[in-house]
Chain A
Amino acid sequence: MKKQVVAYLLLVVALLALSACTTVQPTGQSADAPAEGGLLAEIQAAGKLVVGTSADYAPYESIDADGNFVGFDMDLIRAVGEKLGVEVEIQDMPFDSLIASVQEGKIDAVIAAMQATAERDQQVDFTIPYRMTKDAFVGAGDSTLVIEKPEDAAGISIGAQTGTVQEGWIQTALVDTGLTAADQVFSYERADQAALDVANGRIQLLLMDAEPSIALADETGLKILLITELTAEGGKSIAIPDGASDLKAELDRIIQELLDDGTVQQIQEANGLP
Chain B
Amino acid sequence: MQDFLELLRNVVPSLLQGAVITLQIAGVSLLLGGAIGLPLGIGRVYGPPWLQRVLGAYITLFQGTPLLIQLFLVYYGLPDLGLTLGRLTAAYITLGLNSGAYQAEYLRGALQSVSEGQMTAARAIGMSKAQAIRSIILPQALRLVLPAWSNEAIAMLKNTAVVFAIAILDMMGQAKALASDYFAPIPIYMIVAVFYIVLVGVAYLLLRQVERRVQIPGLTSEAE
Contact = CB atoms under 8 A, between A and B. Distances in A.
Pair from one complex: yes
A19 B84 CA distance: 40
Given A5-B205, A20-B4, A22-B187, A188 B167 contact: yes
Given A5-B205, A202-B84, A19 B190 contact: yes
Nearest to B209: A1
Interface in A189-213: 189, 193-194, 196-197, 200-202
**Number of chain B interface residues as a range:** 20 to 34
B79 A16 contact: no
Contacts of B28: none
B185 to A, nearest CB: 9
A1 B207 CA distance: 12
A11 B205 contact: no
Interface in A1-43: 1, 4-5, 8, 11-12, 15-16, 18-20, 22-25
A69 interface: no
Given A159-B167, A187-B173, A4 B187 contact: no
A18 B24 CA distance: 29
B158 interface: no
Nearest to B169: A187
A71 B126 CA distance: 88
A162 interface: yes
Contact of B165 (A5, A25, A189): A189
A262 interface: no
Place the interface of chain A in its size category.
20 to 34
A162 B197 contact: no
A99 B62 CA distance: 51
A268 B205 CA distance: 64
The main secondary structure of chain B at its interface with chain A is helix
A163 interface: yes
B198 A201 contact: no
Contacts of A1: 205, 208
A15 to B, nearest CB: 5
B31 interface: no
Interface string B155-196: 000000000111101000100110111011011001101100
A23 B187 contact: yes
Nearest to A25: B3
A169 interface: no
Interface in B113-157: none
B167 A23 contact: no
Contacts of B214: none
Interface of B: 1, 3-4, 7, 76, 79, 84, 86-87, 164-167, 169, 173, 176-177, 179-181, 183-184, 186-187, 190-191, 193-194, 197-198, 201, 205, 208
8 contacts: A12-B194, A19-B194, A23-B7, A162-B180, A187-B173, A193-B166, A197-B167, A202-B86
